[in-house]
Chain A
Amino acid sequence: MSSGLRPYARITFGKHGVLRFVGHLDVARVFDRAVRRARLPVAYSEGFNPRAKLSFGPPLPVGAEGDAELCILELAKPLQADEIRRRLGEQLPKGLAITHVETGRRGRRSPLADMERACYEAELVLEGSTQQQVGRAAEELMQLTALEVQRNTKRGPRLHDMRPDILALELREGSPPTLAFALRMSDGPTTRPSEVISAIARLLGPQGDISMARLTRTSLV
């Protein structure tokens, strides 16, 4: 039984409104409880502390919204996608709305293992710089071959090259101006959205103060 392919559901959901202040681990707990309230036939981990087998995409920064977040729910027995969507959807809070459910069977490889990129949109507040300047800074950043930032790790400061992680970056002018960018995902160190904004700010120079008013992860692919 354990050697066979295990049924799972791949749940796409949005994280909006006040729910953006609920952190990654807490969202996992919200799902855990919703699954229990919905009495879904979920698979549990072995051992003295059985946990419902739920896994999620990479953490979203607290305060950021997500349009298409991912949750993998392993099932004790197969269940129709629409039934999962209905029963779980009834138990999830308004800010965590299921947009899509598909079911499948998995082997050893996690259904989340193939994710390559996360796309973000950051609404900006500009002080001391124009949209044109920010747009040029974004283009400039994409021309760079390397962009190192210092990270404080347990083993002391480390340099991390962000540039290969930034797969796309552009300013969409408007009100508010929005910076759209895609970040590469990997098992190693990755680049955080706030680091992209800081990098732009550095390119703008001392007068160019920009900050993020609202950050949305639009997709995980």
Chain B
Amino acid sequence: MGSSPTVLSRWKCISTGSNSGRGVWRGARGLTPQALSRYHLGGLECAELGNPTAISLSLGAARRGSLDLVLMLPEQILAQVQKPARYIGSEHNMVRKDPSMVDVRVVMCYPDLYEVGMCHIGLHILYNIINARADAYCERSFYPQSDAVVLAKQAGAQLCALESGDPLAVFDIVGITLQHELTYTTVLAMLRLGSVPLLACERGDGEPFVVGGGPCAFSPEPLAPFFDAFVIGDGEEAVEDVVEVVKTHRPRGRQAVLNELARLDGVYVPARHDPATDRIRKRLVADLDAAAYPSKAIVPWVEVVHDRAQVEIARGCTRGCRFCQAGIIYRPVRERSPEKALELARALIDSSGHDEVSLVSLNCPDYTLIEGLIDRLHEELGDQKVSVGLPSLRVDTFSVDLAKKVQQVRKSGLTFAPEAGSQRLRDAMNKGVTAEDLLSTVQAAFAAGWHKIKLYFMIGLPTETDEDVLAIPQLVRSVAAVGRRTLGTRSPRMAINVSVSNLVPKPHTPLQWEGQAPADELLRRQGLIRHAIRDRQVTVSFHDVRQSVLEAAIARADRRMADVILAAFEAGAVLDGSGPRLDCDLWNAAFEQAGLSMADAAQKQFDPEQPLPWDHIDTGVDREFLLAERDRVGAGQATPDCRIGGCTGCGITRLGECPLVAPEATA
């Protein structure tokens, strides 16, 4: 009940007498003394004060002071929900401040469950930056699981921040991270449950400024009516600017704050900017060593998805896979120095007690000094049985040495992403990997003791033929054969997990003009793979086509999509990417209501001569570069990694130096 029991459970003492234990306590809206009387309060008596949200309580001596001004009223409710420890806050390293002593209160929201949202590094980076300021307090909020939402709604409870237990509506800034399109209805659900008006134009003075950030802020139009502002690009410096503007200009009223926000670099204010004429250039943090990064991590009570310390070692990627949005919007590549990374890992482990540190970047093996860094991490942390993890490995750069290095303390699974089955299509997608690379790498991994290999593929790529699709099971069979040969008597333990996703063309990529393949075609191609793999040690999982279609429909949409999202939310859509089966009928009805079609929106082919709905957002990468890359898709031509092959002229140098690019190739 991320929100609900938190909400329900926390009553703030607004005037007291805490020594006597008698005082006026303010609780969640809707919790009346009548409602309270249903609970056994363990020595509490309550009397109504006329205001349904304020109640005079007298604490029994036994409970006095034991819960820091927090009264756990509805423990019956917390006890009824799954994993209640998600909703109680007070985790190790949570920042505690007196909210009444700061000028600006911020709540960072992640529109998914606690165990997903708590793994997001960006949230922790911003949390620490804001909390380093004496004049601001940043708290956290996540969307509760459905069982808790039901109970919260029944009790009339609001979505609250974990730190103070205050509802979102009382904050100055509600920051929302936008990681992917299928969280959009959850964004609205959080605002509604937190009593924040959904539409920016309906918010008045005294109501929060809703500010979005993250990759989806690079194509903000589908959410534009709901947000007061979007921060485009790196948030480390921009978030301080936003806090400063709110602090300084709030006394002059909401409109004045919006005016000032619109003047900030990298901040898009839908109520002030005109997408047809204005250009918002992304914010860029030039030096990661100088950028703030948390040295203390909040340690969740419950097991979260990535239950470990995370050190971001680099931002950006030079590989240039043509479907990849992150590879464009996080340019240029910047690396944190090994010294800094090591210092952060040490500090994070010391302050958290985690048993694993994970190095995070779009592609860890590309990190210039990766082997040295892993060696030093082992030296530094091995005696405490702390293991080092590398998520997302590319095939070609992953050496046997690296495979052995990361397994020294503990073996985690190995994941490779060849993405396409055939060489032709891998070249067309600029996924510069050969089957030989993959097989030799996999062999090295099996030889080094791994049994579990995960392979990521994508279907629905432009120019894809059935031959390309069938090359996926062929490649998988080769991997399995290498595994059996290499593992010998241990081969019964081999497990190969193949994960097949569907291309969702994303804004700002060379594929941004392309329509998605129709749903029935994607399903047919999934079937080709499913029927071609018959191996008990190979598990194939397919990404839900309905989710991919919806994601594609929203990803490249214009502002009209906001009506669809709102209608779907009002009809009950929430957690579309992670909840139970996506309700397509509900979404189709929402599209129809707005005079749109989900299939058409997903398959829409944009004319390169026409403007795009995200043209007002400038990633620093030139449109001409994307168009040239698009042409090379058709020609099946790869573009060399600019770290090796020299500058490809993507345009990012407009925003500053590009530190890792090789000097112009002399050919």
Residues of A at under 8 Å CB distance from B?
A: 16-18, 21-23, 25-26, 29-30, 32-37, 39, 44, 48-50, 52, 62-63, 91, 93, 123, 125, 175-176, 211, 213-214
Contacts and interface: CB of A to CB of B under 8 A. Distances in A.
A36 B302 contact: no
Given A18-B67, A50-B410, A37 B353 contact: yes
Given A18-B88, A63-B75, A33 B299 contact: yes
A63 B79 contact: yes
16 contacts: A17-B66, A21-B78, A21-B87, A23-B83, A23-B85, A25-B303, A26-B303, A29-B303, A34-B353, A48-B410, A49-B411, A50-B409, A50-B410, A52-B385, A213-B76, A214-B75
Interface in B35-88: 39-40, 42-43, 66-67, 70, 72, 75-76, 78-79, 83-85, 87-88
B351 interface: yes
Interface string B15-37: 00000000000000000000000
Contacts of B411: 48-49
B301 interface: yes
Given A26-B85, A52-B385, A214-B42, 8 more contacts: A18-B67, A21-B85, A26-B303, A29-B303, A36-B349, A50-B409, A123-B42, A213-B39
A65 B353 CA distance: 25
B539 interface: no
Chain B's interface size range is: 35 or more
A50 B384 CA distance: 10
Given A21-B78, A36-B349, A63-B79, A213 B303 contact: no
Interface string B583-598: 0000000000000000
Nearest to B301: A22
Main SS class of interface, A: mixed
Nearest to A176: B40
B355 interface: yes
Contacts, number: 88
Q: Which 6 A-B pairs have the closest CB atoms?
A: A33-B353, A63-B79, A213-B40, A36-B353, A37-B353, A21-B84
Main SS class of interface, B: loop
A63 B43 CA distance: 18
A33 B352 contact: yes
Interface string B295-315: 000010111000000000000
B90 interface: yes
Contacts of A32: 353, 355
Contacts of A30: 92, 301
A37 B354 CA distance: 9
Nearest to A213: B40
Name, among B79, B89, B353, B354, the residue most crowded by chain A CB atoms within 10 Å (CB to CB).
B353
B350 interface: yes
B355 A123 contact: no
Interface string B341-368: 0000000011111110000000000000
A115 to B, nearest CB: 25
Nearest to A91: B353
